[in-house]
Structure 1
C-alpha cells in the first residue's frame, strides 16, 4: 500500500491536540509507524538510497503539502520561525493567547519541561542580546512607575527591556576619546516589547504597543516566544514597512538560536522629550539613563550594572 503522507500527518496531529511537532518529528513517527510503506517509497525512487535520504524526503514533502493540508483542515496550524511547528487545535486564536498568557510556554529545565511566563523570557532575551549583538540590556518594570496620570495614563508607554549598544567596543582608545569629545554617536539605544505568543488575534495590538513604547529609541523590537501563522508574519512585515519595528523570535530552549525575523529600521536620533517623560515617570528608566550617561563619562559599561548573563561576568 502506498504511503498517504497527508492523511498520516493529519491523523497524528489530531491524535495529539495542541501539541506542537516539527516536520522532522512527524516524519520520524511516520517512518516508525509505517515501515513497509516507507521502504516501498524508498525502493521506488533512485534518489533515495538510505533511510536518512527517505526521512529528509518526508520532511520536505510535509512542508510542501502544508498549504494544501491547512486549506482542507483549518484547525491544522503552524508556528513561524525555525523550526516551524505543526499542531492541531480547535481553540480560536484569541483563546490560544489567553491560555498561553495564563499558563506560559514550554521551556526545558534539565531533562524536564516546565512552563514559563512572560517574566521568564526577559533573562533569556538578555542572554541572546548580549551574545548576538553585544547589547547591554535592562529590565523596565512598569509597576515602578508613578500613577499620577491615572490608571491608563502611562498605558503602552514603557518597553519591557531597554538596551545600549557600544558602537566603539573594538575602537582604539584614542578614537573613543575623540568621539566622546566631539559627538554623541558612541551608542545606539534599543527598546523591546516581549510577548509569549503572537497570532492573528493580537498581532496588531502587540505591534502598535511596541510602536508606542519604543518611539524614543534608535531601534524598536517586538519579541515573541511563539509566532503562529503565515498571515501573522505577513501582517508584521506589512506593518514594518510603515513603522520600522523589528521582530525577534526568541528560542526559549536555546536562546542563542533565536532569530531576527524582521530587522528593525534605525531612527537617526533619540527622542529625548519622550525619554524625559519615561525617566520622570519610572525609576527603572531613570536608572537606565544614568547608566548611559555614566558610559559617556567613563567610556566603560560595568557588566554588574546591567542584566548581562552571569556566565560572562
Structure 2
C-alpha cells in the first residue's frame, strides 16, 4: 500500500492531541508501525534508500516539505519555531494557549511535561546562557522592588525582566584597557531582556512592544521566549526590522543550546534620562547602575552581586 504521508502525519497527531513530536520522531513511528508502506516507498524511490537511515532521512525531509500544505489543510496542526521543529495537534485558539502557559502550563522546550515551569524559572536559565555563552553580567530586575506609581499593570511596560552589562574590552591587552579608561571611551554596553514562556500569533505584538518599551534606554534590547510558535515568526521578523529588538529562543533543557534567532540592532548611546527614572523607582535597577559605575572606576566587572550561575565567577 502507498504511504499517504500528509494524512498519516495528521492522523497520528490527531490521536495524540497536544503532544509534540519532531519530524524524526514521526518518521520513526511510521517506519516502525507502517513497515509495508515504507518498504513500498523504498522500492519505488528513484533514490538509493537501501539503508534504513537513508529511508528515515527521506521521510524526515518529506514531512518538512509537506508541512505548509498540512497546516493549510488542517489548521489544528501547529509547529514550534524551536530546532528541531515540533509538530502537534490542538483545537485551542492561540490566545487560549497563551492563557494556559501564563497560568503555569507544563512546558519544557516545546514539550508538555508533568512539572510546570513558570516564567520566573526561566530567569536563572537565561542568566546562565548570557554569562557562560555571551560573556555578559546579568542582573534580575524585580518590579516588586519598585515604588509602583503606575497602576497595577504599569510596571510591565517600564521595567525589563533582566538587564546585563557587557565588558567589551574583556579580551583587550592591559595597556589598551588602561588607555581607553583614561580616554573616557566606551568600556561597557548595557542590555535589556523581556522574558516570556510562549510567543505565538495571539500575543506577538503585545510582548514585542512590551520589549520595545522596556528596553528603550539600552544599547541592546531582546525578547526571550522558551516556546516560539512558527505562526509568529513572520511578524517577529517584520517588527525586528522596524524596531531593532532582537529575539532569543531559550532552551530550557540545555541553556547553552539557546539561540539568538534575530540579532538586536545596537543603539550607540544609553538614554540616561530613562535610566535615571528607572533607578529612582526601582532598587534593583539602581544597584545595576551602581555596579556599572564601579566597573568603570575599578576596571573589574566582577564588582557587584550579579546573578551569575552557581560555580561560575
- Verify: 1:137 aligned to 2:138, yes or no: yes
Change (3 A) 1:151 1:102: closer
SS at match of 2:30: helix
- Verify: 1:204 aligned to 2:205, yes or no: yes
SS at match of 1:159: coil
The CA RMSD measured in Å over matched residues stands at 1.5
Aligned residue number for residue 97 of structure 1: 98
Change (3 A) 1:125 1:303: farther
Kindly indicate whether the alpha-carbon contact (under 8 Å) linking 2:291 and 2:303 is maintained by their aligned counterparts in 1: no
Change (3 A) 1:199 1:312: same
Worse-matched range after superposition: 97-106 or 183-192:
97-106
Aligned residue number for residue 258 of structure 1: 258
- Verify: 1:175 aligned to 2:191, yes or no: no
Aligned residue number for residue 87 of structure 2: 86
Kindly indicate whether the alpha-carbon contact (under 8 Å) linking 1:125 and 1:255 is maintained by their aligned counterparts in 2: yes
Count the aligned residue pairs: 309
SS at match of 1:225: strand
Aligned residue number for residue 298 of structure 1: 298
Cα distance in structure 2, aligned partners of 1:41 and 1:310: 52
Aligned residue number for residue 227 of structure 1: 228
SS at match of 1:312: coil
SS at match of 1:107: coil
Cα distance in structure 2, aligned partners of 1:303 and 1:14: 54
User: Could you give the per-residue CA deviations for residues 20-49 of structure 1, whole angstroms, max 9, x where no partner exists?
Assistant: 111111111111111111122223334212
Cα distance in structure 2, aligned partners of 1:53 and 1:60: 11
Kindly indicate whether the alpha-carbon contact (under 8 Å) linking 1:105 and 1:196 is maintained by their aligned counterparts in 2: no
User: Could you give the per-residue CA deviations for residues 137-158 of structure 1, whole angstroms, max 9, x where no partner exists?
Assistant: 0100001100234445544000
Change (3 A) 1:252 1:149: closer
Worse-matched range after superposition: 112-121 or 161-170:
112-121
- Verify: 1:243 aligned to 2:232, yes or no: no
Cα distance in structure 2, aligned partners of 1:124 and 1:42: 44
TM-score if structure 1 supplies the norm length?
Answer: 0.95
Kindly indicate whether the alpha-carbon contact (under 8 Å) linking 2:106 and 2:114 is maintained by their aligned counterparts in 1: no
Cα distance in structure 1, aligned partners of 2:106 and 2:214: 24
Worse-matched range after superposition: 166-175 or 146-155:
146-155
Structure 1 stretches of at least 4 aligned residues deviating more than 4 Å after TM superposition: none
User: Could you give the per-residue CA deviations for residues 242-272 of structure 1, whole angstroms, max 9, x where no partner exists?
Assistant: 1100000111111111111110000000000
SS at match of 1:311: coil
Displacement, 1:168? 0.6
Contiguous gaps of at least 5 residues in structure 1: none
Contiguous gaps of at least 5 residues in structure 2: none
Kindly indicate whether the alpha-carbon contact (under 8 Å) linking 1:104 and 1:196 is maintained by their aligned counterparts in 2: no
Cα distance in structure 1, aligned partners of 2:131 and 2:307: 9
Cα distance in structure 2, aligned partners of 1:304 and 1:216: 21
